């Protein structure tokens, strides 16, 4: 691997892992935080809601900032801000300060997350991108699995503030590393691993005589850098998108809260109205925030749809399963976590197997197999009753892990591969948006359907939540059929039209 790619991969993997770890350890720390700061349940809920709304509403705009100013630079700002906000939360005197700093942490997380994919897209050639994405996914799975255990140990030994201090050293380190790393340019992608042929001094021949400037055989001049016009920020579009996504996530979170159905419905209606205004603006804008060539790419849209359906099905199922194991079967949190251990193991071990599967069978077949496994896992979970033991629960969780990791690695690879390099940040923002909206959609769906069967809803075989989530998982199947069918096509980026006034050139 080229030396310049090592710090980029380290920043991408560590940044994604820190965000995944932060989300899981906070859940364990919330009861202690509530007692220590004398807060009510609604205030504690906003420590999560404020973060989710800030992240979801700014991800695409943050990706556009990376396209314009450089993904490493935006990543460094997000990582250092995340570290500062985490340290501030650990020192916060009251719940109001915690909520405000969590919103700030969400803004920094939005800057950080799309850049973890955007800088991989610019640093690695398309035919080598599946492996770093698989490594990133495996580490995310490991961090998410370790989060409850690490969080429980820290809260028990040192209190809830130690959970937020946990993320300060790694984010500070990767932020400083990103500041020192060199940003890869589009024309350098994939060329730095090959020896560069020697080139004569311009204007002079081997005999010492002057000669007109001519490029060396087999070499072409690098294309010009992306101009600011091609990465216009479109502030009005960014504001409308932030309002749309913020209202949508807030509405879904409120719908999942007891007594919040009406507020959630109003927020979702507001999101639809804002989305219509956004669509009208984007059609009329000279340089829209959401590039038409990106949204017209069938593989990119299909990959985002796959991620949305898969994350909704997985997290909604885990929400129902957690209540089933703890409230119905009376298992403690540790025993519940052990039931889901196959899910975590298959996510970590399965991610490195996805790139060779894509090369062998193509993204379409690989993702279709993953969708079948995920839907089968949710469907089998929906047949469990009160007597279900560790083995059937473990088999179901293993199917969930195998299916989800296959879909996540394959769909993410297609989205990043097929997006034009000038819009890599927006593509990463859309991918991360799907991964944030999907879980909120799945949990809200499960909550609403659990309320329909108040006496037996937590028992999978008696409720309607898991069958509905199995149907959502099955919705990923038609989307996988729109992914590229051949291995080569799945790793080829969308062609970029030649710039006016320049002859199209071919890389040697």
Q: What are phi and psi of 77, to 5 degrees?
A: -60, -45
Specify the pLDDT at position 30: 79
- Is 80 exceeded by the pLDDT of residue 227? no
Specify the pLDDT at position 280: 92
* Mean pLDDT lowest among 83-97, 145-159, 240-254, 477-491: 477-491
- Is 90 exceeded by the pLDDT of residue 190? no
Question: Helices 235-255 and 424-450: crossing angle, nearest 10°?
Answer: 20
pTM, two decimals, is 0.77
Share of the chain above pLDDT 90, in %: 29
Query: 311 versus 325: which is more confidently predicted?
Result: 311
Report which of 370, 262, 383, 265 is spatially closest to residue 320, judged by C-alpha positions: 383
- As to burial, measured by CB atoms within 10 angstroms (0-12 exposed, 13-18 middle, 19+ buried), residue 323 is middle
Q: Could you give the 3-state DSSP secondary structure of residue 346?
A: helix
Specify the pLDDT at position 189: 40
Element (H, E) at 264: helix 261-284
- Is 90 exceeded by the pLDDT of residue 154? no
- Is 70 exceeded by the pLDDT of residue 229? no
* Mean pLDDT lowest among 203-207, 275-279, 414-418: 203-207
Report the chain's mean pLDDT, rounded to a whole number: 81
Specify the pLDDT at position 231: 52
Specify the pLDDT at position 219: 45
Q: What is the mean pLDDT of residues 11-29?
A: 84
Specify the pLDDT at position 449: 82
- Is 90 exceeded by the pLDDT of residue 505? no
- Is 80 exceeded by the pLDDT of residue 9? yes
Report which of 155, 136, 142 is spatially closest to residue 27, judged by C-alpha positions: 155
Report which of 45, 443, 46, 53 is spatially closest to residue 243, judged by C-alpha positions: 53
User: At 295, is the pLDDT very low, low, confident or very high (cuts 50, 70, 90)?
Assistant: confident
- Is 50 exceeded by the pLDDT of residue 208? no
Specify the pLDDT at position 184: 58
Query: 2 versus 472: which is more confidently predicted?
Result: 472
Query: 14 versus 196: which is more confidently predicted?
Result: 14
User: At 486, is the pLDDT very low, low, confident or very high (cuts 50, 70, 90)?
Assistant: low
User: In sequence order, what are the beta bridge partners of 204?
Assistant: 210
The two structure tokens encoding residue 155: 């809260």
User: At 187, is the pLDDT very low, low, confident or very high (cuts 50, 70, 90)?
Assistant: very low
Specify the pLDDT at position 455: 56
State the DSSP code for 407.
Answer: H
Q: If you average pLDDT over each of 37-41, 172-176, 281-285, 291-295, which comes out highest?
A: 172-176
User: At 269, is the pLDDT very low, low, confident or very high (cuts 50, 70, 90)?
Assistant: very high
Q: What is the mean pLDDT of residues 97-104?
A: 93
Q: What is the mean pLDDT of residues 153-179?
A: 89
Specify the pLDDT at position 235: 85
State the DSSP code for 190.
Answer: T
Question: Helices 71-90 and 5-37: crossing angle, nearest 10°?
Answer: 20
The two structure tokens encoding residue 223: 């294309």
Specify the pLDDT at position 308: 93
Query: 1 versus 14: which is more confidently predicted?
Result: 14
Work out the number of other CB atoms within 10 angstroms of the CB of residue 106.
23
């Amino acid at each position: 691997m080229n030396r310049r790619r090592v710090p980029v991969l380290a920043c991408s993997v560590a940044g994604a892992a820190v965000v995944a770890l932060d989300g899981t350890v906070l859940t364990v720390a919330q009861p202690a935080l509530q007692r220590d700061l004398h807060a009510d349940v609604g205030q504690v809920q906003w420590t999560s809601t404020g973060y989710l709304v800030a992240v979801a509403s700014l991800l695409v705009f943050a990706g556009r900032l990376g396209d314009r100013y450089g993904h490493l630079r935006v990543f460094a700002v997000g990582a250092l801000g995340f570290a500062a906000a985490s340290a501030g939360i650990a020192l916060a005197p009251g719940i109001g300060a915690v909520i405000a700093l969590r919103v700030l942490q969400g803004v920094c997380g939005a800057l950080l997350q799309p850049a973890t994919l955007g800088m991989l897209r610019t640093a690695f050639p398309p035919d080598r991108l599946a492996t770093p994405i698989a490594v990133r996914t495996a580490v995310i799975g490991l961090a998410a699995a370790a989060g409850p255990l690490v969080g429980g140990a820290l809260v028990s030994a040192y209190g809830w503030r130690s959970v937020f201090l946990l993320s300060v050293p790694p984010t500070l380190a990767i932020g400083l590393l990103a500041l020192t790393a060199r940003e890869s340019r589009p024309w350098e992608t994939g060329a730095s691993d090959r020896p560069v042929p020697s080139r004569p001094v311009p204007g002079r021949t081997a005999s010492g005589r002057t000669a007109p400037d001519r490029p060396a055989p087999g070499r072409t001049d690098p294309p010009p850098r992306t101009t600011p016009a091609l990465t216009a920020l479109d502030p009005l579009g960014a504001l409308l998108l932030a309002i749309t996504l913020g209202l949508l996530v807030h509405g879904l979170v409120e719908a999942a809260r007891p007594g919040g159905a009406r507020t959630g419905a109003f927020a979702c209606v507001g999101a639809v109205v804002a989305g219509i205004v956004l669509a009208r603006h984007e059609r009329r804008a000279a340089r829209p925030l959401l590039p038409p060539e990106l949204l017209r790419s069938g593989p990119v849209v299909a990959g985002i749809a796959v991620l949305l359906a898969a994350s909704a099905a997985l997290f909604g199922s885990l929400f129902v399963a957690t209540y089933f194991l703890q409230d119905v079967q009376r298992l403690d949190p540790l025993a519940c976590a052990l039931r889901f251990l196959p899910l975590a193991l298959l996510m970590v071990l399965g991610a490195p197997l996805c790139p060779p599967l894509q090369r062998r069978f193509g993204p379409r077949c690989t993702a279709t197999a993953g969708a079948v496994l995920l839907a089968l896992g949710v469907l089998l979970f929906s047949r469990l009753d009160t007597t279900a033991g560790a083995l059937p629960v473990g088999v179901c969780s293993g199917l969930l892990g195998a299916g989800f990791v296959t879909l996540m690695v394959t769909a993410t690879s297609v989205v990043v591969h097929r997006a034009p390099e000038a819009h890599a940040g927006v593509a990463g923002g859309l991918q991360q948006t799907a991964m944030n909206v999907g879980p909120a959609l799945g949990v809200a769906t499960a909550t609403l359907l659990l309320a329909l069967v108040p006496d037996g809803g937590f028992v999978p075989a008696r409720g309607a939540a898991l069958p509905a989530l199995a149907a959502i998982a099955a919705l990923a199947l038609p989307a996988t059929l729109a992914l590229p069918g051949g291995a080569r096509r799945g790793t080829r980026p969308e062609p970029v039209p030649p710039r006016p006034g320049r002859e199209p050139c071919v890389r040697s």
